[in-house]
Structure 1
């Protein structure tokens, strides 16, 4: 216990933590604000966001030594902007993954339900590897999954599930799936026989069943990071993204570094969202968000798997920003300007209200209102 106590870092109050940041070279324009943010977020949660801004040097191509000092120009405000930026990305990812999770859960339950209402109990629908017991283990993966599945059913408060349980009726897979989480779904798919996996992939336009297994593992991992409020934007994926032979993926042509970062996940998520809802504008929001990343030392487009110029909008035509077609209203604008000049000349020359051309005033106001409405429609 004495040895353990020597290894533990000393406890520091918030004001001392702020002083520690300053001593390491971080610029704090408002130390009280910095202290307040540390009380809200926590020193070590925020440390993940300033870690890329630490000084470092390369010893070998793949070996880096990091120092306990910040690079010149590192500010607390920029680090906090990084934190808020990452939060916005997490919210967009969660929004997309929610739709994907429900979609995939529905497909899996429907395809297996076609075989039998309780196909998930029949070992014939699963690989021999998942149903066999490895040396030293007490249960097979199949049995462990069913233990977890049963617990989820018992804990569920879904009316459809409670109704079946209360009436002691067998629960078909399309009802039971309402209790699943992403991890349960991912594990079930990984245990299915090759034929059943391919049946589900065919619904999604994926040529290799291992690709979907890879996606489910990555999506489950990023979902868990988002749900636990962990940093996501410049971290490596759980596994390097695999891609099918598909026109969409052939066009984008993910490289190894892109497949291992956030951009690779965005590409996969958009492929799936496009299947679910072709009218979705999620990719527009994500592209705008990524392009507007804060200026933070250590946070680059490359660290998120993106090209150095930002989000590659040419590969995603829906994200290309278009400028309003102002020339369409050129005649209207010129007419309004001419009438304005006439009114100014008239007011300079006339002294009495009776001499003002009220009809000209009325026409000018009407033309300006028309112009305003047209511009508002852009």
Structure 2
């Protein structure tokens, strides 16, 4: 038996849940309900939640010849509370659910479009090297030795996905030894396989796919698929979405819907830009979708937490720009009328009176009823 090697740098010691809350409190986090904080850390995890309080830590800026360097400290900014951190986590979780739902529809639609547009030319178009760009067929300069050309790498992934698939349509083809047409094979593809396959297709095939999506520029769709694939993975792995950068700056068409949005660079680098792209694709699939309204409602629940602002998600300072999307604000809670309150109170009292009268008498029933009557009269006398 080999002995475990001791790391050169000491590993952090284990901390139990109450100890972790103590650390947060010692660093300046407001712990309003200690038992609740312990319970939530036990449920969600200290380091999973740490992503949500990361931007609330204090920092200092070092200026040198390379520019600015941000150094974060192990202490929190003023007014950082555990409750606000957890509300941020819940808001982000709601966004992940909504994004996951939208991306599922987009992923299925993309598979269908790609399979249909290539399948019309050849049922086995995905296996024909003639359908991909020549650069995808040769090893790229600078790649590590043994790294497959792009198409060979994609084909290897495709074959693994087919072998792992439990789809009955795919299993039946394999069992019968029949070639699997693209409209069946694509059922095994994940978002990454879709994105990579599109990126290596011949321009003519990309154009037919773009036309179905309502986009002219081939490279724009390529850029979107790369970003959406990472977004999908973040959703699948329960990672934070809200205040983190996109993998790549979004490329957007300069017409119509996107001209009206007029997204700035910050928006293209953040979640706001991705929401705009997802909505563009989603409303073409389901024109009656209320998805964006639900997203706006969730964004409106953003808690007051240092470091968390609409701008950190790419939005304008005022928050989700409902006007740009023609989304109405949620109706304000209607203040009840005096007449309604009085009526409801009388109805409730009538039910209580019948219950009291129906109860059997005990030794002190008359005293209890008198005390109840006197109490009610006293309450009513102030109205």
Where on the TM-score scale, by shorter chain, does this alignment land: which range? 0.7 to 0.9
* Correspondence for 2:329: 321
Q: Give yes or no for the alignment of 1:132 onto 2:141.
A: no
Matches within 5 A, 1:14-25: 14-25=17-28
Change (3 A) 1:156 1:286: same
Residues 79, 305 of structure 2: 8 Å contact kept: no
Match among 276, 285, 301 for residue 292 of structure 1: 301
Structure 1 residue runs of 5 or longer lacking an equivalent are: 327-332, 341-378
- C-alpha distance in 1, partners of 2:191/2:163? 18
SS in 2 for 1:59: strand
TM-align CA RMSD: 2.1
* Correspondence for 2:240: 231
Residues 103, 232 of structure 2: 8 Å contact kept: yes
Residues 207, 245 of structure 1: 8 Å contact kept: no
Matches within 5 A, 1:237-316: 237-316=246-325
* C-alpha displacement of 1:269: 0.3
Q: Give yes or no for the alignment of 1:175 onto 2:178.
A: no
* Correspondence for 2:111: 105
Q: Give yes or no for the alignment of 1:77 onto 2:83.
A: yes
* Correspondence for 2:378: none
Change (3 A) 1:2 1:246: same
Matches within 5 A, 1:108-187: 108-134=114-140, 136-187=145-196
Change (3 A) 1:138 1:297: closer
* Correspondence for 1:50: 53
Q: Give yes or no for the alignment of 1:38 onto 2:41.
A: yes
- C-alpha distance in 2, partners of 1:199/1:125? 13
* C-alpha displacement of 1:304: 0.4
SS in 2 for 1:115: coil
* Correspondence for 1:94: 100
* C-alpha displacement of 1:123: 1.0
SS in 2 for 1:34: helix
Structure 2 residue runs of 5 or longer lacking an equivalent are: 344-383
* C-alpha displacement of 1:59: 3.1
Change (3 A) 1:2 1:160: closer
What TM-score does the superposition give when structure 1 sets the normalisation length? 0.83
- C-alpha distance in 2, partners of 1:196/1:6? 53
Which structure features the higher share of helix residues? Answer: 1
* C-alpha displacement of 1:180: 0.5
Match among 64, 68, 74 for residue 74 of structure 2: 68
Q: Deviations over 1:91-147 (max 9, x none)?
A: 000010000000111000100001100001111110111111235335211111111
- C-alpha distance in 1, partners of 2:331/2:298? 19
What TM-score does the superposition give when structure 2 sets the normalisation length? 0.82
* C-alpha displacement of 1:207: 1.6
